[in-house]
Amino acid sequence: MAVQRTFSILKPDATRRNLTGAINAMIEGTGLRIVAQKRVHMTAAQAGQFYAVHKERPFYGELVAQMSAAPVVVQVLEGENAIARYREVMGATNPANAAEGTIRKAYALSVGENSVHGSDAPETAAIEIAQFFSGNEIVG
Ligand code: CMP
């Protein structure tokens, strides 16, 4: 498996509770490298664009409101099989179903406030990375 990049967000529930260092330690503990990172406060328009794929879902409005309510940390993670590896350490979307040892099991509050986001496929990773980072901000 080749080296891959994935896009990650440490969500408002994590930044509010000062968990960015603890979550980064779990990410780095898997061997993934944080090759770009910045703290941003998304506008509702930015959050709406980011989650446009969920526009028709009943939770879309609440999701956009939550993601634009406080700062987040956006990241690019790099490593072998990075997309699947990050999804594994994140755990299930709903923390009630998340396995022991995962970020969401340790820290998520609910399905909406689930501490982290990670890309689900190479195509979405490329789109999501490009929404927040230009090429020279990513240093592998
Ligand atoms: P994320 O991986 O960021 O992708 C979409 C987000 O929608 C998801 O994590 C959840 O935080 C949020 N969400 C809120 N309600 C639901 C739901 N019922 N099913 C799936 N995702 C939900």
pLDDT of residue 1: 72
Residue nearest to atom 2 of ligand 1 (CA): 117
Question: How many Å lie between the centroid of ligand 1 and the Cα of residue 136?
Answer: 30
CA of 90 to the centre of ligand 1 (A): 13
Tell me if residue 117 is catalytic.
yes
DSSP string, the chain: --EEEEEEEE-HHHHHTT-HHHHHHHHHHTT-EEEEEEEE---HHHHHHHTGGGTTSTTHHHHHHHHTSS-EEEEEEEEETHHHHHHHHH--SSGGGPPTTSHHHHH--SSSS-SEEE-SSHHHHHHHHHHH--GGG---
The verdict on the CB of residue 104 being under 6 Å from ligand 1 is no
Mean pLDDT for back-to-back runs of 10 residues, the chain (140 residues): 95 98 98 98 98 98 98 98 98 98 98 98 98 96
Report whether residue 36 contacts ligand 1, using a CB cutoff of 6 Å.
no
111 alpha carbon to ligand 1 midpoint, in Å?
Answer: 6
Q: Is the distance from the beta carbon of residue 103 to the nearest atom of ligand 1 less than 6 Å?
A: no
